[in-house]
Structure 1
Amino acid sequence: MGDRKLENVGKWALAVGSWLVSYLFGGWSGVLGVLLVFVVMDYLTGVAAGWMSGELRSKIGMFGIARKVFIFAMVAVGHLVDGILGDGHLFRDTVAFFYIANELLSITENGGKMGAPIPSVIKQAIEVLKGKGGNDNDKGAGTGAST
């Protein structure tokens, strides 16, 4: 009987999670998938860079996690604005591209702190993504090991 209860809890959790993703983000998309991967990669490379430099701190790590949650909150805001204005996924995706560019920039900065060479094609991709996200400034980008 306990296994069946656990199975039902799992089904409910999946249903609520699916509803939440649908409501907050308008469903899942390739753009959101890329953003999720970049967010995780940025956090992990930030931890690695902090560890290698001897600057790894739990407080900085918690700040980084809070920052990552904020990124997805802003993407949700973009989707909700789309719903009000009837613009499909224009704002959601623009916000996502903005953060994808910032996360990619931070990943490359973390790689640089670890002594890894950064291919020029990645640097070019950052510039293209900045344009798609309407990113005309670098505020908040590249927080290094704190992400």
Structure 2
Amino acid sequence: MEKKLILEKSAMGIISAWIMDQFGLLFPAVSLLTILMITDYISGMLASKKEALDNPDNNKYGWNSRKSRIGVYKKASYIFIILAAVSTDYVIYKFSTEIGIKFEHKTIFGLLVSVWLIINELISILENAGRMGARLPEFLQKVLTELRGKMDKD
């Protein structure tokens, strides 16, 4: 079962990478997002471990496989969101060309969604660093709180 899941993820990754490569600008953004998703996942696990050490008698804290799976599903959903955005870009680009409207950019929504997800991952990484005990500058904490509020609101 585990090997099948890895194979499916690999196939989806290869197909997604090919599609994104067709749009040029999107490939670096998605590459960065992938690196940040891995970093966020690892930093989240480390933060959970640190919280478990700080609260040894509280089962609420600590790493567990359920939380881990939920994190993986969340990261996988990012791929589907980007795929939907890129598909929307393709439809707009293709049909605007068909009706005679010259469209300069092949990607709009895919790139915007990727940037939004990149910002979300950066915020999450910084939050995890704070959970591990890193002291964030106050101005950065304010910016993060404001960004998180705006992102959740929108």
3-state SS in 2 of match to 1:115: coil
State the Cα RMSD in Å: 3.1
Q: Is the 8 A contact 1:45 1:110 kept in 2?
A: yes
Q: Does 1:67 align with 2:42?
A: no
Cα distance change on mapping 1:84 and 1:120 into 2, 3 Å: farther
1:44 is aligned to 42
Letter of the aligned partner of 2:150 in structure 1?
A: N
- TM-score calculated relative to the size of structure 2: 0.65
2:30 is aligned to 32
The count of residues paired between Structure 1 and Structure 2 equals 120
| Structure 2 unaligned regions, length at least 5 | 1-9, 53-61, 94-104
1:21 is aligned to 17
Provide the C-alpha distance between the structure 1 equivalents of 2:11 and 2:73, rounded to a whole number of angstroms. 25
Match of 2:91 among 81, 84, 87: 84
Provide the C-alpha distance between the structure 2 equivalents of 1:42 and 1:18, rounded to a whole number of angstroms. 22
Q: Is the 8 A contact 1:26 1:79 kept in 2?
A: no
Cα distance change on mapping 1:44 and 1:17 into 2, 3 Å: closer
Q: Is the 8 A contact 1:104 1:126 kept in 2?
A: no
Greater radius of gyration (CA): 2
Cα distance change on mapping 1:108 and 1:88 into 2, 3 Å: same
List per-residue Cα deviations over 1:60-112 (Å, max 9, x = no partner).
00000000000111011110000001151111010000100000000000000
Cα distance change on mapping 1:125 and 1:22 into 2, 3 Å: farther
- TM-score calculated relative to the size of structure 1: 0.68
Provide the C-alpha distance between the structure 1 equivalents of 2:12 and 2:79, rounded to a whole number of angstroms. 17
Cα distance change on mapping 1:61 and 1:89 into 2, 3 Å: same
1:33 Cα deviation from its structure 2 partner: 1.1
1:107 is aligned to 125
Cα distance change on mapping 1:115 and 1:19 into 2, 3 Å: closer
1:138 Cα deviation from its structure 2 partner: 3.0
Provide the C-alpha distance between the structure 1 equivalents of 2:132 and 2:12, rounded to a whole number of angstroms. 40
Cα distance change on mapping 1:113 and 1:16 into 2, 3 Å: closer
Cα distance change on mapping 1:114 and 1:26 into 2, 3 Å: same
1:26 Cα deviation from its structure 2 partner: 4.4
Q: How much identity, in percent, do the aligned residues show?
A: 22
| Structure 1 unaligned regions, length at least 5 | 1-13, 141-147
Letter of the aligned partner of 2:91 in structure 1?
A: I
1:117 Cα deviation from its structure 2 partner: 2.7
Letter of the aligned partner of 1:21 in structure 2?
A: A
